[in-house]
Amino acid sequence: MASGGIARGRLAEERKSWRKNHPHGFVAKPETLPDGSVNLMLWRCVIPGKPGTDWEGGYFPLTLQFDDNYPTTAPSCRFPAGFFHINVYDSGAVCLSILGAAWKPSITVKQILVGIQELLDDPNPNSAAQHRCYELYKKNMPEYKNKIREQAKRYPSRM
């Protein structure tokens, strides 16, 4: 099987597994092309804000872009550009250890999405990707939390 075939095979399995059992409120589905076929290499996802956190009530859109080397390499994960979070670059790219140095081919789409949900309310200030967000987090927690709640209101429902 060519390398792209391995990636697509694994992603087809991931899709089947996701449909059978996924965390409540999450969405993860491959992009549907205009001809009705499915692009397994690009997934449109939604991560719900965790209940009891400042993220609660938000349903945050995220894209997972896989390449032919998956699962040897992690997918790129992006929120919309300008997403407010210490560990998300202005481009929307997520900075998370399991997507970088800690990546293992055994990590699943479900684990990636749950890991990103955890990161939302438990950021890593030692790996800041957004200076303005980091500054607020360190110097003005009430304003930081207010910005998070405002952002949750901007993403009120699923795709």
Q: Which residues are known catalytic residues?
A: 95
The two tokens of residue 18 are 């996701």
Strand order in the sheet with 27-32: 27-32, 38-48, 59-65, 76-78
The CA-based diameter of the chain, rounded to the nearest angstrom, is 53
Determine whether 77 is exposed, middle or buried from the number of CB atoms within 10 Å of its CB (0-12, 13-18, 19+). buried
Determine whether 93 is exposed, middle or buried from the number of CB atoms within 10 Å of its CB (0-12, 13-18, 19+). middle
Cα–Cα distance, 138 to 153 (Å, whole number): 23
* Beta-carbon-side half-sphere exposure of residue 21 (alpha carbons within 13 Å): 3
